Structure formats: structure tokens, C-alpha cells
Amino acid sequence: LHDSGSSSDSSGGSIGFDAPCISCASPPAVDLPALKQTTARLRRAAAAASFNAAAEHAAHEAHHSHEHLEQELANLKDDSKEAWEAKALVCVTGIMTLGTSFLCLSAAYMETDCGRMLARRAKRLRDSIADRPPIVQ
């Protein structure tokens, strides 16, 4: 519907049905191959952002780094300053790794113990509520 304004009527314009309504036009045809390609691209992007992909990427980078370090280590003399520094770093990081592993295990134990305590408390509260006589007002 539109106001044509071309009418000779003295009351202004008239309502005509001669022009098609743009908002009622049929929707454009969907390009299925392009839609499938876009969907596949979005799935790949989601997979790349997932934790598994991130962990695999980090492991891949660590593997390459390890290969480079092996090549450098093959050229290292046992009595050189760099060899002693590397050994010291390995000893320090080994101790740090053991310490952080202990802390992780302790945190897991504390979390488990806290969960047990909360479960016991909830059971006691549920039992105490069930044993109470109903309150009449």
C-alpha cells in the first residue's frame, strides 16, 4: 500500500495497489554450497579454539622446541659453562615441578575433603529439618 499522490481527488492522495511492497517480496535464494562452506569454516574455527586444539598446538610447539634443544645439546661440551648452567636449571626446575605437583595434589585433597564436609553438613541439616515438628500458625 502506498499513497500515490497522483490522484486528481481534492482530498489529497489515494491508496493504490500498483507498486509491489518491498518488505513482502520473496526471500532471496540461499546459496547452499556457500552456506556449507561457511558452516565448515565456522566449525574449524570453533575446533581451533577448543581446549583440545590448544593443548595439541602447545604439545606440537614443545616437540619442535625439544628437537632444537637436542641439536644444541649434541654440540655442548660437558665441562663448559653452558652445560653447568643447563644442569643447574634442570635441577632447580625438577624441584619446582615436584613442589607444584605436591601443591596440586594437596589442593585436590582439600577440595575433596571440603566436598565431603559440605555433604555431611547438608545431610545433618536435612535430617534436622525432617525431625522438626510442623509449625502451626
Tens of pLDDT, residue by residue over 95-107, are 888 888 888 888 8
- Radius of gyration of the chain from Cα atoms? 37
**Rounded-to-integer distance, Cα 113 and Cα 120, Å:** 11
pLDDT per residue as tens digits for the range 9-53: 444 555 555 555 555 555 566 677 877 888 887 777 666 556 556
- pTM equals 0.37
Find the mean pLDDT for residues 123-134.
Answer: 88
Which SS3 state, helix, strand or coil, does residue 23 take?
coil
Residues in the chain: 137
